[in-house]
Structure 1
Amino acid sequence: MIRRARLLAVVVLVACGAVTVISSTQTWLLAVLDDGGAHALEVAGAAAIPVLAPLGLAVLALGGALSIVGRVLRYVFGALTVLIAVVLGWLTAQIVFAQPVGAVASTVTEATGITGEGAVADLVASIALTPWPAVTLVTTVVLLAAGAFTLATAHRWGGTGRRYRTEDAPRAAAAGSRPHDAIDSWDDLSRGEDPTTRPLD
């Protein structure tokens, strides 16, 4: 199980990030206006929660980076994942359980030109939920669990540098048979080594 812990964490983060980004483009709320025509405005997730898409992209990036980083950054990324999950969960829960007028205000203003939360509240007769806020809320719970799982198991994950060190061994041996030149110095920098500490040939 521990051997697959990194893979599991990465897959869950990428999946949660993808669902969050997709959710931001879907209709979350239907705002029915009290304008005599009972017009219903579709409110996308990105309009209800402006940070939804950026945070979803951040989770995708964290998932991808988590597959290659070392031990210290695993803990940093795990903590960031937990923080993002808490923020998204809090914002999404408000919409799921309260349907605040503020979540539809920007869409109503764009459609009618009416500004101000009080004026918008007077114009909105009702707000209905689609399934997407609930889907996103469940996703944040899974994301929170993935972040906690990362923090709990990161110290047992295998390293990622062994393969690269093995591949670099023949080149290092070959380099040792000739004078150290600028290309070798560049390779040292790429591997995170300081070429200035190498003894002069």
Structure 2
Amino acid sequence: MTARARSLAVLLILAAGATGVIASTQTWLIVTIEDGARDPLPVSGAAALPVLAPLSLTTLALGAALAIAGTVLRYAFGALTIVIAATLGVATGVVALTAPVAAVVSAVTEATGIAGLEAVDDLVTGISTTPWPLITLAACVVLLAAGVLILATAHRWPGSGRKYRTSAQVAPDGAPSRRTDAIDSWDELSRGQDPTV
């Protein structure tokens, strides 16, 4: 059960991070501008929510590191996962539920050359949302659940494998075994032995 909890937490974090990265490239908002000759302007997730891509990439890295983290780092990563989920969740919720003009200012400025929140607000006649903000919000909920799962079960997770340990190992006869270094590993390879076994 504990190994399954770790695998599930890592999988949920990676899935949420990947969803965030994908969502940052998709159209979140469609803006109608007062100039009737102009087509509706699509606004990507990265433009509507600039922190989405960086925090999603951080989430992916966190999920990968969690797979080999020790007990103390598991709790730190669990808390960080909850903070990222809450931050992204609140910001995404604002965009998804209210479609504020502030989320489209950069895209409108790039398309029209008109800058400033008030000037863009006067120019915009309507903003509609696509499903992507809600999909991202659901990913934030999944990420939050993963963080809670980590904090609840991290103390029971099995330790990392032998290749991640840095302390001296004890040989089967009870004597501490000598740590090998890079030169020892090369020597073993030269003799046709596998140093990772």
| TM-score between both structures, scaled by the size of structure 2 | 0.84
SS in 1 for 2:111: helix
How far, CA to CA, are the matches of 1:57 and 1:174 in structure 2?
Answer: 40
Q: 2:129 aligned with 1:129, yes or no?
A: yes
The corresponding residue for 1:85 is 85
The corresponding residue for 1:187 is none
Q: Deviations over 1:37-69 (max 9, x none)?
A: 253110000000001000000000000000001
How far, CA to CA, are the matches of 2:97 and 2:21 in structure 1?
Answer: 21
Q: Quote the offset at 1:182 in angstroms.
A: 9.2
How far, CA to CA, are the matches of 1:134 and 1:67 in structure 2?
Answer: 28
Q: 2:135 aligned with 1:106, yes or no?
A: no
The corresponding residue for 1:23 is 23
Q: Quote the offset at 1:3 in angstroms.
A: 2.6
Distance 1:174 1:59, change over 3 A: closer
Q: Deviations over 1:86-142 (max 9, x none)?
A: 000000000111110000000000000001100000100000000000000011011
SS in 1 for 2:41: strand
What root-mean-square deviation, in Å, do the aligned CA atoms of Structure 1 and Structure 2 show? Answer: 2.6
- Of all paired residues, the percent bearing the same amino acid is 58
The corresponding residue for 2:194 is none
Is the helix fraction higher in 1 or 2? 1
Moved over 6 A (4+): none
Instruction: Number of aligned residue pairs: give it.
Output: 180
Unaligned stretches of 5+ in structure 2?
185-197
- Which stretch of the first structure deviates more once superposed, 74-83 or 29-38? 29-38
Partner amino acid for 2:88? L
The corresponding residue for 1:50 is 50
Q: Deviations over 1:135-166 (max 9, x none)?
A: 0001101100100110110000000144666x
The corresponding residue for 2:139 is 139
